[in-house]
Amino acid sequence: MFEGITTGLRGALSFIDRGRLTEANIREGMKQVREALLEADVNYDVAKDFTARVSEQAVGERVLKSLRPSEQIIGIVYRELVSLLGGDPDAREFTPESTASLLGIKRDGMTVLMMCGLQGSGKTTTCGKLARLLQRDGVRTMLVAADLQRPAAIEQLKTLGGQIGVPVYTEDPAASTPVQVCQNGVKAAKKAGDVRVVILDTAGRLAIDEQLMRELRQIDNKCAPDQAVLVTDAMTGQDAVNSAKAFNEALELDGVILTKIDGDTRGGAALSIKAVTGVPLKFVGTGETLEGIEPFHPDRMASRILGGGDIATLLEKAQREFDADEMEDAQRKMAEGRFTLDDFRKQMQMINRLGPLRNVMKMIPGMGAMAELDPGIDMDKEVHRIGAMIDSMTLDERRNPDRIDRSRRNRIAAGSGTNPADINKLLKDFSVMGGMMQGVSQMGMKDRLKAVQQMAGQAMSNPSGRMMQQKQRSKRGPLDELKAREKEKRKKKEAKKQRKKNR
Amino acid sequence: MGFFDQFRQGLEKTRKVLNTDVRDLFKAGEILDETQLEAFEGRLVRTDMGVAAAGEIVAELRKNFEGRTVKLDEVSETINRKLRDLLEGDGSSRYDAEDPLSPLRLRADGPTVILVSGVNGVGKTTSIAKLSKLLKDNGKRVVLAAGDTFRAAAVEQLTLWAGRLGCEIVRGEPGADPASVAHRGAERLIDSGADVLIVDTAGRLQTQKNLMDQLDKVRRVLAKKVEGAPHESLLVIDATTGQNGLSQTKSFSEAAGCTGIVLAKLDGTAKGGVVIAIRRQMAIPVKYVGVGEGIDDFAVFNTNEFVRALEI
Ligand SMILES: Nc1nc2c(ncn2[C@@H]2O[C@H](COP(=O)(O)OP(=O)(O)OP(=O)(O)O)[C@@H](O)[C@H]2O)c(=O)[nH]1
Ligand SMILES: Nc1nc2c(ncn2[C@@H]2O[C@H](COP(=O)(O)OP(=O)(O)OP(=O)(O)O)[C@@H](O)[C@H]2O)c(=O)[nH]1
Ligand SMILES: [Mg+2]
Ligand SMILES: [Mg+2]
């Protein structure tokens, strides 16, 4: 499908090759994007708004020389999708928060989570999965079986609890009500003393079932759960917006979990739900067993919605960034022994531009090394440093690095604000890469890409390498930001509690 | 309450939540322009029929009506007719509402085997309970085989239903080979002289090759035991499903040779239009609809009702 959009866009935009993206030429391209979104089950209105907004933004952007206009548009769309889904398109790698922080687990006292959603969406299974995650992090958890409706729902939760050694609070369904079970369950957890998280498994219900929605609001009022979590099936189509909106209006949701993404669904529901409710996506369900859960990654979801799956997207992006012409140029030079330090720098920049996709590289054979890199390494800075070193060399030195002797090395280091040892390291990396590149010339395009990526992985995982140097955390910045966010959250939470009291 | 009353009640709920009616867009005597066509396309896409089906219909509208003064009825009828024709195929999948067993290919000369499959949580087990009730109410004796030996308490769930219905049930140990449970179910069917065996299966995503192979094995085991089995292979699809329903139907058909679809959870706000997308590509008819969690919330698929409920 990604192929599909790309080809379609190329056709639609083939007439622009220089100048700026205009309203007219974008309109054609956006039609293709919109179609792809709808195919991915993004809600009709959401897709419409989204493409309108992206078009507006794209108008007037300069058509980049190295990219086809179609690729540029996909780039813009991808970035927008990532930010809409709650990610930062400029971040090189998405680092999810911890389980406890994703679920808003309080440091002191007990946290109550309430799961809700349509029938069969995966609530009960997800309760088990979350309990397993928390328990593994040493957070004592208790499950409460509040689905008295579906045959054997209690038995199901008990079985799951048994698998992971988590206690399950149950009552006789004939002699109780869901509200009672939840209240008593929370009480029992408090009495147990060491329970820090209580997860309420509620029955599946339609958002238009007034009686059952009232019951859910009662549980919400009586037990004042700290977090209300909506569990949604990733295969959901256009209706995702209706139910998400209704559950959010009834409960003020704190998070969404998207289940069953282990299949081949494109998962447009994720975008629809986020767009209409603004509620953040927290986790995805990746299988039937209790291990099948992962934090939600906006960047992965964005490429999934665009249709390629992670690898296809990566290759696509890589193809774009490793501009085929430049690659060939580099290879020819290498074969002729003309690969210079300038070319080396270009290669490093290309690898750097892969940015946020680095986290999916694990999936590609041979890319493990690069993926395992400490996320703390600041690649931008590294590429910048290499640039500075190369800039401090004369043209002649760049072409014939073997002429760089001790005194030249000292001069270059002084000029670039680095150490002579750094210069040495750079020259070594360069010659290693040059050697490896030589073998590549005979391969096909795809293999070549792979090989280059492999090399990059090796070069950068070299433990003595400069690339492995730890990123210096700036003294202020991120930490303050984190604190500010925490504060913001606390404020929101308190306001919510207040609202609930006032109800 | 009869099946249709239930169904209608479900639809009534649906109507209530719809805020605008497409008919507003086509007040008689208006000229059909691009804006209206687009609004109309939105209506179609929102049923989950997919962009391809919606695009085709809009193209036809454009050809027949664009720039013309349109009458509401004329436009709606064009589309409804088109959708009805598509869903009914050659007419063989138009069912007799008075005879709730008419969609089933029940054998006249021996016991019938029905295999039920689908992705996780769509409503297989519940639909089996509902179908058993329907069969029982129409004088058939039913044996159930609890072929979901994987999911926690899946066997207990079907056992509870069997108890309520007074059906015999064949079960396996947790983790047992579903094919062996199916095999024993078929044996029980023959030995007990019952009319119908319904085999439940664990939910599985169609991309799980080994599980799809397992389903194929269940089918082969049944075929060995009872001639021509499974006589019905029902695929359960959740009405909220989007375009993934297409891929589900393709893969399950390969593994289980689906002969019909049960469209469950049609009592919600979802329209279930994905069956239109499915029908465009495959000759698998929708046979029943699920309209609630109760044992009687089940009805023979009725094309007219369904198309009307799409509110196009
Ligand atoms: N493949 C896959 N299956 C899942 C996932 N999460 C849940 N399931 C399956 O989906 C089905 C329904 O899951 P449940 O946990 O019973 O769903 P529920 O929302 O509690 O259902 P009700 O209580 O009936 O409303 C089961 O077969 C689960 O094994 C997932 O992430 N991937
Ligand atoms: N509203 C509504 N709920 C339904 C309908 N059919 C089934 N359900 C509910 O959907 C949930 C899942 O149903 P099951 O019959 O357990 O689904 P399944 O396909 O057997 O699930 P797995 O075996 O876990 O894959 C249960 O809560 C059912 O009560 C329906 O027609 N309408
Ligand atoms: Mg449940
Ligand atoms: Mg089941």
**Domains of chain A by range and CATH?**
2-84 (1.20.120.140), 99-305 (3.40.50.300), 310-468 (1.10.260.30)
Q: Is A248 exposed, middle or buried (0-12, 13-18, 19+ CB in 10 A)?
A: buried
Tokens of B140: 């058939």
Check the CA dihedral A459-A464-A468-A471 and report its sign. Answer: negative
Question: Is A494 touching B (CB cutoff 8 A)?
Answer: no
DSSP bridge pairs for B263:
B237, B289
Q: DSSP secondary-structure letter at A199?
A: E
pTM for this predicted structure: 0.77
Residue A265 beta carbon below 6 angstroms from any ligand 1 atom: no
C-alpha distance from residue A319 to each of A355, A447, A453 (Å): 14, 11, 11
Question: Is B20 touching A (CB cutoff 8 A)?
Answer: no
Three-class SS state of B127: helix
The domain that holds B218 is classified in CATH as: 3.40.50.300
Q: A208, B207: Cβ pair inside 8 Å? A: no
Q: A119, B156: Cβ pair inside 8 Å? A: no
Residue A162 beta carbon below 6 angstroms from any ligand 1 atom: no
Conformation bin of residue B110: beta by default, left when phi > 0, alpha when psi is -120 to 50: left
Predicted local distance difference test score (pLDDT) of residue B40: 85
- Closest-CA residue of A relative to B15 is A208
Q: Which ligand is nearest to the CA of A204?
A: 1
Residue A153 beta carbon below 6 angstroms from any ligand 1 atom: yes
Predicted local distance difference test score (pLDDT) of residue A312: 44
Q: How many domains does chain B contain in total?
A: 1
CA distance A65 to B132: 66
Given a contact cutoff of 8 angstroms between Cβ atoms, the answer to whether B54 and B45 are in contact is: yes
Q: DSSP secondary-structure letter at A288?
A: S
Query: Letter for the amino acid at A261?
Result: I
| 3-state SS, one letter per residue, for A79-130 | HHHHHHCCCCCCCCCCCCCCHHHHCCCCCCCCEEEEEECCCCCCHHHHHHHH
DSSP bridge pairs for A417:
none
Residue B121 beta carbon below 6 angstroms from any ligand 1 atom: yes
Residue-number span of the structural domain to which B299 is assigned? 1-312
Dihedral pair phi/psi, residue A426, rounded to 5°: -60, -45
Question: Is A236 touching B (CB cutoff 8 A)?
Answer: yes
CA of B145 vs chain A CAs: smallest distance (Å): 17
- Pick the closest to residue B87 from B299, B310, B295, B238 (CA basis): B310
CA distance A427 to A459: 12
CA distance A457 to A355: 14
Tokens of B32: 């059909």
ipTM of the complex: 0.90
Residue B264 beta carbon below 6 angstroms from any ligand 2 atom: yes
Tell which atom from ligand 1 comes closest to the C-alpha of A205: 25
Question: Is A159 touching B (CB cutoff 8 A)?
Answer: yes
State pLDDT tens for residues A330-357: 666 666 666 777 777 776 665 555 544 4
* pLDDT tens for the 312 residues of chain B, in order: 343 444 445 444 444 433 344 455 444 567 888 888 888 899 999 999 999 999 999 998 898 888 888 876 778 788 998 899 889 887 777 888 889 999 999 999 999 999 999 999 999 999 999 999 999 999 999 999 999 999 999 999 999 999 999 999 999 888 899 999 999 999 999 999 999 999 999 999 999 999 999 999 999 999 999 999 999 999 999 999 999 999 999 999 999 999 999 999 999 999 999 999 999 999 999 999 999 999 999 999 999 999 999 988
Predicted local distance difference test score (pLDDT) of residue A486: 62
Question: Is B161 touching A (CB cutoff 8 A)?
Answer: yes
For residue A295, is the peptide bond before it cis, meaning its omega torsion is within 30 degrees of 0?
no
Question: Measured between CB atoms, which of B16, B161, B205 is closest to A263?
Answer: B205
**Parallel, antiparallel, or unpaired for β B196-201 and B69-70?**
unpaired
CA of B294 vs chain A CAs: smallest distance (Å): 10
Q: Which residues of chain A have pLDDT under 70?
A: 1-20, 62-72, 92, 307-338, 347-380, 432-503
A23-39 vs A44-58: helix crossing angle, rounded to 10: 150
CA distance A194 to B167: 45
Question: Measured between CB atoms, which of B160, B241, B267 is closest to A237?
Answer: B241
